[in-house]
């Protein structure tokens, strides 16, 4: 009876290990596919976009360009520049802000198609821990010619969202 019990226990351990390995492989490939899909989406935004906020068209444009042999996408928002790029399995963004700091953001996993949310993981040139900086940037692709953009600022413990609608020119 104990020999049978021992074989059952070994089989359970082996099946658990195989299941865990499958989950690890699957989650890694899902992360790669998610970041690669998002990166390809950013590449497809190439061109100029009109910006609306509060029902008014802004005097600046958003411009997306694919550069460095397809390894980066630049986003020019007025005089601010963001660079979107792959780093291993992650999709990262460095946002060079008019506030004089540069948040580095990472794409979060999302179960919503055509929604890409970046979250800050560190900020360079931040004057103090409570200084205002971009905390999150959320892109909602409506269709090939329209997207919603939300930029969430953090100052101290207060969040302040800015909402925009972009239309391809």
- What are the chain's domains? 35-168 (2.40.128.20)
Contact 71, 85 (CB under 8 A): yes
The percentage of residues in the chain with a pLDDT greater than 90, rounded to a whole number, is: 76
Rounded average pLDDT over 16-38: 52
Distance CA 18, CA 40 (A): 33
> Is residue 6 pLDDT above 90, yes or no?
no
Residue of 37, 96, 102, 45 whose CA lies nearest to 73: 45
Helix (H) or strand (E) holding 65: strand 56-67
- Report the Cα–Cα distance between both ends of the chain, in Å, rounded: 76
pLDDT digits (tens, 9 = 90+) for 91-114: 999 999 999 999 999 999 987 888
pLDDT digits (tens, 9 = 90+) for 41-79: 999 999 999 999 999 999 999 999 999 999 999 999 999
């Amino acid at each position: 009876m104990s020999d049978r019990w021992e074989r059952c226990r070994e089989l359970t351990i082996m099946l658990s290990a195989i299941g865990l390995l499958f989950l690890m492989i699957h989650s890694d490939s899902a992360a790669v596919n998610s970041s690669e899909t998002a990166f390809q989406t950013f590449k497809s935004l190439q061109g100029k976009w009109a910006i609306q906020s509060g029902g008014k068209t802004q005097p600046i444009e958003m411009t997306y360009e694919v550069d460095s042999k397809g390894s980066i996408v630049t986003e020019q928002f007025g005089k601010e520049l963001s660079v979107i790029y792959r780093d291993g399995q992650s999709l990262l963004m460095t946002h060079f802000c008019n506030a004089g700091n540069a948040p580095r953001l990472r794409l979060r996993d999302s179960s919503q198609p055509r929604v890409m949310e970046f979250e800050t993981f560190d900020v360079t040139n931040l004057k103090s821990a409570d200084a205002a900086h971009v905390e999150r940037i959320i892109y909602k692709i409506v269709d090939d010619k329209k997207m919603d953009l939300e930029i969430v600022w953090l100052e101290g413990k207060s969040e302040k969202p800015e909402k925009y609608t972009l239309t391809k020119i």
